[in-house]
């Protein structure tokens, strides 16, 4: 197997002292931001995008991967100890986890979350190493029309499936696509949406948009809601598990992994759906139904495993097709573009070393997280005492620095403020951030794929469906859209009956 040889090479380059240091830095940062609600791995990677200017690609991606996995671990700590999810993916963990902590079983809840995350992460990463190269070799054969169809599927699915309001999702998506249009048209040389400002003709740098939406928007939002009643935190010692806890945890871990990975791998997967499904399954299968709602360990073990497995699954479309399906993957993709790497099916052939080093570092980061998190949980919990003004002052500083570093122009700082205000307004009116970011990142690629397809068919619309894969994918989109509409219709009367 060539892939095992590649993976071994990957481990060799990921285990150099320098890269190991970046992996450590990544998991530490990732756990810290995961613990803090409101600050997530996507914002952190966005703030760290400027390091890509002088750190080599492998080291930077090793660090980003550590942040990505670390965020999942940190999020569960906050969920369990504070009943506030640190990350959106650990919402479900809070249901049983905090009950366990209040019943004096915080140590066991943290342990099953950490060990479950480790096992799911390891299995998920192994599956990633197995599937991604295969999918990539198939995907290379796809032409522009098929590729366009798959990207459109991802855009529609991310927007329509996640979040409660489809209208808000699509508003956010189209805002993102519009931002992606700004600049000179690469084919005809016309200026688009530049409002006569020459500085806009190069387009808006994705670093500025990502940092503004994630960091400035969040900082302004927090500033508007600065003082809130502090929450009660459950004090905790070193996490550990008894024999009974192991016995009750291992099956939920594996089932959670089985849910998480496929959901992460399909576009529009995300972690919310599989964690919830895992919770419902564990609730049905448990031998201790009386404990559910009062702190059942299965209700922590399953969703936490699902959460980490879906994080690994998300990397499958990202590495094999260049399709990001969550915010962190989207920002990592922006970093790839920053390095001049063309994300897409050719990654595994053209950037083989980089990709395998990244996959190897995921295994290493996962192990580091387990080793770090079991003894350090009480230390991470102390981070929650940091006053928000200190925290967000730091974030604003790095955000401004990052935006300025793009071109060393004041104009980027002005853009940062404008998009920061947009981010604040999106939070105020409940628009999801993810469709916008994915729209900005995929928009230009969707456009180029569409124009290439149309050029091949000399402007004839039938060129868009000239390949069988494209036809199938468009059929899926139509089926999915009709399905959503039908489900929405069917659901409405029943809810009315319940309320009346």
Partner 1 sequence: MTIVVGYVTGAPGEAAVEQALVEARRTGARLVVVNGTRGDAYVDTRFSQGADVDRLRSHLEASGVQHEVRQPLGPDVADLILDAAEEVGADLIVVGLRRRTPVGKLILGSTAQRVLLDAACPVLAVKP
Q: Under the criterion CB under 8 A, does residue 236 sit at the interface with partner 1?
A: no
Q: How far is the CB of 232 from partner 1 (least distance, A)?
A: 4
Quote the DSSP letter at residue 88: G
SS3 340: coil
Q: How far is the CB of 84 from partner 1 (least distance, A)?
A: 7
Of 199-207, 288-296, 387-395, 423-431, which part binds partner 1 (CB under 8 A)? 387-395
Task: State yes or no: residue 230 binds partner 1 (CB under 8 A).
Answer: yes
389 is an interface residue for partner 1 by CB under 8 A: yes
Q: Which neighbouring-strand residues pair with 191?
A: 184
69-128 residues near partner 1, rule: CB under 8 A: 78, 82, 84
Q: Is the dihedral of CA 418, 419, 424, 426 positive or negative?
A: positive
Residue 162: strand, helix, or coil: coil
In whole angstroms, the minimum distance from the beta carbon of 351 to partner 1 comes to 40
475 is an interface residue for partner 1 by CB under 8 A = no
Instruction: Tell the smallest beta-carbon distance from residue 389 to partner 1 (Å).
Output: 6
Q: Which of 384, 403, 442, 470 binds partner 1 (CB under 8 A)?
A: 384
Cβ proximity to partner 1, 78 vs 257, nearer residue: 78
For residue 386, state whether it binds partner 1 (rule: CB under 8 A): yes
Per-residue exposure over 306-335, b if at least 16 CB sit within 10 Å of its own CB, e if not: bbbbbbbbbbbbbbbbbbbbbbbbbbbbbb
Q: Which of 20, 24, 25, 233 binds partner 1 (CB under 8 A)?
A: 233
Q: Does 394 bind partner 1 (CB under 8 A)?
A: no
Q: Which two tokens stand for residue 494?
A: 């029943």
Question: Can residue 36 be called a binding residue for partner 1 (CB under 8 A)?
Answer: yes
Nearest Cα residue to 239 out of 114, 122, 90? 114
Closer Cβ to partner 1, 84 or 346, answer by number: 84
Rounded CA-CA distance 288/11 in Å is 42
Choices 220-228, 332-340, 398-406, 463-471; region in contact with partner 1 by CB under 8 A? 220-228
Among 167, 188, 198, 227, binds partner 1 (CB under 8 A): 227
Nearest Cα to 318, choosing from 73, 74, 139? 139
Residue 333 CA to residue 315 CA, distance in Å, equals 11
Site string for partner 1, 263-292 (x = CB under 8 A): ------------------------------
146-176 burial, b for 16+ CB within 10 Å, e for fewer?
Answer: bbbbbbbbbbbbbbbbbbeebebbbbbbebb
319 binds partner 1 (CB under 8 A): no
Tell me what percent of the chain is helix, strand and coil, each rounded to the nearest 5.
80, 0, 20
Candidate ranges 144-152, 197-205, 385-393, 454-462; the one touching partner 1 (CB under 8 A): 385-393
Q: Determine the interface stretch with partner 1 among 161-169, 180-188, 384-392, 469-477 (rule: CB under 8 A).
A: 384-392
Distance CA 255, CA 285 (A): 11
Q: Which residue carries 């100890």 as its tokens? A: 81
| Residue with the two structure tokens 């010692």 | 237
Which residues does residue 192 pair with via DSSP β-bridges, in sequence order? 183
Output the smallest distance, CB 233 to partner 1, in A.
5
Size of the site for partner 1 (CB under 8 A): 20
User: Which residue stretch of 240-248, 380-388, 439-447, 475-483 sits at the interface with partner 1 (rule: CB under 8 A)?
Assistant: 380-388
Q: Is 37 in the site for partner 1 (CB under 8 A)?
A: yes
Contact flag: residue 226 with partner 1 (CB under 8 A)? yes
What burial class does residue 434 get, using C-beta atoms within 10 Å of its C-beta: 0-12 exposed, 13-18 middle, 19+ buried?
A: buried
Handedness of CA 241, 245, 251, 256 (dihedral sign): negative
Per-position DSSP letters for 195-239, written without gaps between them: TT-GGGGG---HHHHHHIIIIIHHHHHHHHT---PPPPPPP--S-
- List the one residue from 243, 284, 287, 385 that touches partner 1 (CB under 8 A): 385
List the interface residues with partner 1, window 481-500 (CB under 8 A).
none
Minimum CB distance to partner 1 smaller for 110 or for 149: 110
Residue 396 CB, shortest distance to partner 1, in Å, is: 15
Does the footprint of partner 1 cover residue 388 (CB under 8 A)?
A: yes
Of the candidate spans 244-252, 328-336, 379-387, 445-453, the one that interacts with partner 1 by CB under 8 A turns out to be 379-387
Q: Cβ of residue 385: shortest distance to partner 1, in angstroms? A: 5
**How far is the first Cα of the chain from the last one, in angstroms, to the nearest whole number?**
63
> Do residues 322 and 351 make contact, with C-beta atoms less than 8 angstroms apart?
no
Q: Which is nearer to partner 1, 234 or 323 (CB)?
A: 234
CB 107 within 8 A of CB 237: yes
Stretch that binds partner 1, among 151-159, 238-246, 377-385, 403-411 (CB under 8 A): 377-385
User: In the bound complex, what is the minimum distance in angstroms from residue 38's beta carbon to partner 1?
Assistant: 9
Taking the C-alpha atoms of residue 138 and residue 344, their distance in angstroms, rounded to an integer, is 12
Give one DSSP letter per residue of 264-330, joined into a string: HHSTT-TTHHHHHHHHHHHHHH-S-GGGTTT--THHHHHHHHHHHHHHHHHHHHHHHH----SHHHH
- The verdict on 469 binding partner 1 (CB under 8 A) reads no
- Choose which of 164, 188, 198, 229 interacts with partner 1 (CB under 8 A): 229
Residue 386 or 455 having the CB closest to partner 1: 386
Q: Which residues bind partner 1 (CB under 8 A)?
A: 36-37, 78, 82, 84, 226-233, 381, 384-389
């Amino acid at each position: 197997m060539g892939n095992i040889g590649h993976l071994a090479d990957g481990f060799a380059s990921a285990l150099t002292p320098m890269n190991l240091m970046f992996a450590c830095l990544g998991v530490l940062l990732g756990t810290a931001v995961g613990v803090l609600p409101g600050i997530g791995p996507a914002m952190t990677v966005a703030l760290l995008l400027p390091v890509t200017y002088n750190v080599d690609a492998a080291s930077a991606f090793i660090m980003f991967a550590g942040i990505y996995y670390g965020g999942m671990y940190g999020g569960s700590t906050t969920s369990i100890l504070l009943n506030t999810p640190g990350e959106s993916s650990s919402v479900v963990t809070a249901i049983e986890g905090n009950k366990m902590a209040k019943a004096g079983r915080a140590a066991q809840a943290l342990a099953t979350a950490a060990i479950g995350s480790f096992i799911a992460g390891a299995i998920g990463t192994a599956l990633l190493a197995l599937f991604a190269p295969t999918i990539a070799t198939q995907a290379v054969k796809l032409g522009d029309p098929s590729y366009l169809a798959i990207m459109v599927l991802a855009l529609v699915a991310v927007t329509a499936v996640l979040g409660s309001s489809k209208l808000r999702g699509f508003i956010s998506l189209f805002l993102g696509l519009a931002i992606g249009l700004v600049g000179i048209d690469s084919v005809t040389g016309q200026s688009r949406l530049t409002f006569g400002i020459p500085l806009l003709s190069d387009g808006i740098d994705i670093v500025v948009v990502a940092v503004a939406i994630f960091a400035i928007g969040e900082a302004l939002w927090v500033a508007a809601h600065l003082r809130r009643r502090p929450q009660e935190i459950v004090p905790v010692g070193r996490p550990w598990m008894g024999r009974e806890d192991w016995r009750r945890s291992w099956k939920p871990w594996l089932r959670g992994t089985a849910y998480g990975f496929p959901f992460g791998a399909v576009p529009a997967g995300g972690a919310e759906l599989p964690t919830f499904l895992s919770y419902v399954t564990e609730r049905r299968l448990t031998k201790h139904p009386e404990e559910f709602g009062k702190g059942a360990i299965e209700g922590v073990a399953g969703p936490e495993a699902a959460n980490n497995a879906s994080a690994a699954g998300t990397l499958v479309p990202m590495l094999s097709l260049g399709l990001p399906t969550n915010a962190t993957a989207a920002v990592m993709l922006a970093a790839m573009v920053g390095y001049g790497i063309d994300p897409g099916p050719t990654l595994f052939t053209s950037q083989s070393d980089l990709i395998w080093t990244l996959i190897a570092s995921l295994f290493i980061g996962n192990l580091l997280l387990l080793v770090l998190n079991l003894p350090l949980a009480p230390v991470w919990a102390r981070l929650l005492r940091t006053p928000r003004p200190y925290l967000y002052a730091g974030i604003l500083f790095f955000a401004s620095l990052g935006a300025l570093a793009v071109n060393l122009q004041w104009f980027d700082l002005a853009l940062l403020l404008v998009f920061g205000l947009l981010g604040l307004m999106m939070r105020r009116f409940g628009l999801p951030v993810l469709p916008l970011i994915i729209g900005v990142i995929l928009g230009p690629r969707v456009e180029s794929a569409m124009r290439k397809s149309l050029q091949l068919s000399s402007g004839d619309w039938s060129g868009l469906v000239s390949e069988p894969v494209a036809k199938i994918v468009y059929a899926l989109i139509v089926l999915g859209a009709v399905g959503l509409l039908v489900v929405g219709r069917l659901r409405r009367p029943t809810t009315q009956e319940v309320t009346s």
